[in-house]
Structure 1
Amino acid sequence: MNIMITKKAFDWYKRELGLKPGDAIRFFARYGGCSTVQKGFSLGMAKDELVDKPAAQTTVDGITFFIEESDQWYFDGRDLTVDLDEKSDEPVFLVH
């Protein structure tokens, strides 16, 4: 499982959340919403502290994006790409 963050999505997170080097964003499974991956669940995100052994992580310009081991079931072995929907100016999560 890999995490890929597009430049547009990275810039959005940095701007909207005021991120700086050393900060971390956690992606996690949450109950409710809709998803093409797991029925009855959706993907959430939060600014958080990096865990010791994440299931997946990527670091861009000193900012780390990660998934905890306890949430890797949601992805079912697939990769996560985070992009930006420019029309709505919101991140979109592509699990593939």
Structure 2
Amino acid sequence: MNINLSKEAQEWFQQEMQVKKGDHVRFFVRYGGSSPIQDGFSLGVTKDEPIDAAITLEENGIVFYIEDKDVWYFDGHDLNVSYSEKYNGPQYDYSKNEQQ
């Protein structure tokens, strides 16, 4: 599994969440909401230090990550983060990782 992040999404995180070089951004599982891969769960995001990061992506000194305890949610899918002009925020899409 991988995290893929568009340049526009990265810029959004830097501007709106005020993340900078040396910071960590965690994608985590939330109970409730909707998701195309897990009924009754959705994806959240926060600026937080990793405890047991399983998947990481470093872009411009910022580490985006998923904790080991949240990997089940992705069910073998990659996380693709882009920027949505319509919602003025990140958009999360999932693609099946064929290397699993």
TM over 0.5, yes or no? yes
Give the letter aligned to residue 11 of structure 2: D
Q: Which residue of 1 is the match for residue 98 of structure 2?
A: none
Q: After superposition, where does 1:57-96 map in structure 2 within 5 Å? A: 57-96=56-95
| Structure 1 length-normalised TM | 0.95
Runs of 4+ in 1 over 3 A off after TM superposition: none
Unaligned runs of 5+ in 2: 96-100
Residues 57-79 of structure 1 show CA distances to partners (whole Å, capped at 9, x for unaligned) of 10000000000000000000110
Q: Unpaired runs of 5+ in structure 1? A: none
Q: Equivalent residues in 2 for 1:1-96 (5 A)?
A: 1-51=1-51, 53-96=52-95
2: CA distance, partners of 1:8 / 1:17: 14
- Aligned pair count? 95
State the distance in 2 between where 1:28 and 1:19 align: 17
- Cα shift at 1:50: 2.4
CA distance in 1, matches of 2:93, 2:20: 25
- % identical aligned pairs: 47
Q: How large is the RMSD of aligned CA atoms in angstroms?
A: 0.8
